[in-house]
Chain A
Amino acid sequence: GAGVSQSPSNKVTEKGKDVELRCDPISGHTALYWYRQSLGQGLEFLIYFQGNSAPDKSGLPSDRFSAERTGGSVSTLTIQRTQQEDSAVYLCASSSPAGGIDTQYFGPGTRLTVL
């Protein structure tokens, strides 16, 4: 079936604007993850959803970052009042950890550039 999809693929915004990044997980996958990849920080975990709830928000870097997931499917990562240090590739992954740990499959990412 289809893999994880993310939109937009590229986003250029001005400092101070809000942005929304979307993730469509693999059909049937109950778990969804957001990661960020930047030159200085490597690949870092942001947030994890199991169904519509987020038991682990420990990686969100500030209160400007929020995420939600509706219907156990699509997720939106919102960054308010963007800063230049938010420039990075935002990666989404999904998995189906029924009773254990399953492999996370990643989408192509959204490249965010804050001018």
Chain B
Amino acid sequence: AQKVTQAQTEISVVEKEDVTLDCVYETRDTTYYLFWYKQPPSGELVFLIRRNSFDEQNEISGRYSWNFQKSTSSFNFTITASQVVDSAVYFCALIVNTGFQKLVFGTGTRLLVSP
């Protein structure tokens, strides 16, 4: 069975602080894909990044960066110099390559960035 754990329920930071959102996953499959989605107050899930299990390179996109480590089954997300607009719920998710492509989501981390 697959499982995604986001242990941080809620994080509060002040604008311009850096913040890391943790994600730990469980799967016995060797081929899988990891995702991060953002859910702002409007409610729509916005795709941020996708990573496959064979690509452990870290990725940076503007203020966002992702650290994928298979040794610890983690796929952590860092926001540098946070802004108020980053306030949202962030979900980590997993798909295994078995044909039925359902996303298994973590419980989400609510990030509150105050001015």
Contacts and interface: CB of A to CB of B under 8 A. Distances in A.
Contacts of B97: 100-101
A35 B103 contact: yes
B100 A48 contact: yes
B101 A48 contact: yes
B43 A103 contact: no
Interface residues of B, number: 24
Interface in A57-115: 58-59, 89, 91, 93, 95, 97, 100-101, 103-109, 111
A33 B50 contact: no
Interface of A: 31, 33, 35, 42-45, 48, 55-56, 58-59, 89, 91, 93, 95, 97, 100-101, 103-109, 111
21 contacts: A33-B102, A43-B103, A48-B100, A48-B101, A56-B100, A58-B100, A89-B43, A91-B45, A93-B45, A101-B33, A101-B95, A101-B97, A103-B47, A103-B50, A106-B44, A106-B45, A106-B46, A108-B42, A108-B43, A109-B43, A109-B44
